[in-house]
Amino acid sequence: MNPNFLLSSLILLAGALVLVYLIYAALPAAFLRAENALRFRFSKHPKKELYLTFDDGPDPNYTGKLLDLLAENGIRATFFTVAEFAEQNPELIERMKDEGHSIACHSLSHKCAMFQGPQDTLADLTHTLEIMHGLGVNVRYYRAPWGLYNLTLIRELKRLGIRRVLWNVMIGDWSGRVTVSTLSHRLLARVSSEAVICLHDGRGTDHAPARTIKTLETVLPELKRQGYSFKTFQ
Ligand SMILES: [Zn+2]
């Protein structure tokens, strides 16, 4: 075979694969993020309300302590749980329900949808919903890991009537290199009316959720003092 023909065929194939990937995952993810940012930026007459949301739990080491803190402050939050972690910690899911928190979904096992084909995406979502239904949770909201959706996930969530949720405020609380003081400053500086705040009660590096909880011990009373109230995705 002519080596030039082989080379141009390979280049063409690689180009076609990149195009498919862009259409299937990269462009939809970028579009949803841009749309979310613009909607928040141009929201008219926002109310002084915040949505406190937690991803990556439940975690037996941290979620209980976080629930204690939320109860002390009379605040309800939305937990975007990883279904396999929820299955391993049913008592924490029960506690969330008993204490009036909203329980939503954050995938089956925290895989990135950008690297999953249609079949894997559907299989993971089906299994996720089976686990959550088994725990008595009717899933109405879904946040994909890293906020990255592919076309299959977008279409299937729409078909099931499950709404996608991204965020407006993120402070890097998963990092092992950030201090409680930095997290507190970032959170207070970035919060504004109707913001969806994304924090983490599981995973992270070097006991990250412990720093998230420590941060909230001082920041939650301060946000209440500033006149903010807290809402959940219901
Ligand atoms: Zn996550």
Q: What is the pLDDT of residue 33?
A: 86
Cα 51 to middle of ligand 1, angstroms: 17
Which residue ranges of the chain lie beneath pLDDT 70?
A: 1
CA torsion through residues 88, 94, 100, 105, sign:
positive
Cα 46 to middle of ligand 1, angstroms: 27
Residue 52 and residue 196: Cα distance in Å, rounded? Answer: 6
Cα 106 to middle of ligand 1, angstroms: 7
Q: What is the pLDDT of residue 23?
A: 86
Cα 134 to middle of ligand 1, angstroms: 22
Cα 2 to middle of ligand 1, angstroms: 48
Cα 55 to middle of ligand 1, angstroms: 5
Q: What is the pLDDT of residue 3?
A: 78
What are the residue ranges of helices labelled H in the chain? 3-21, 27-41, 63-73, 83-88, 90-98, 118-134, 151-160, 180-190, 208-225
197 forms bridges with which residues in the sheet? 52, 169
Cα 4 to middle of ligand 1, angstroms: 45
Cα 129 to middle of ligand 1, angstroms: 17
Q: What is the pLDDT of residue 222?
A: 97
Q: Which pTM was predicted? A: 0.92
Q: What is the pLDDT of residue 5?
A: 85
Residue 67 and residue 195: Cα distance in Å, rounded? Answer: 21
Cα 16 to middle of ligand 1, angstroms: 30
Cα 171 to middle of ligand 1, angstroms: 13
Q: What is the pLDDT of residue 18?
A: 87
Q: Is 145 helix (H, G, I), strand (E, B) or coil?
A: helix
Residues 177, 149 contacting (CB under 8 angstroms): no
Domains with residue ranges and CATH for the chain:
3-231 (3.20.20.370)
Residue 116 and residue 159: Cα distance in Å, rounded? Answer: 19
Cα 208 to middle of ligand 1, angstroms: 13
pLDDT digits (tens, 9 = 90+) for 24-39: 888 888 888 888 888 8
Cα 47 to middle of ligand 1, angstroms: 27
Cα 209 to middle of ligand 1, angstroms: 12
38 residue type, one letter: L
Give the N- to C-terminal CA distance of the chain in Å, as an integer.
Answer: 62
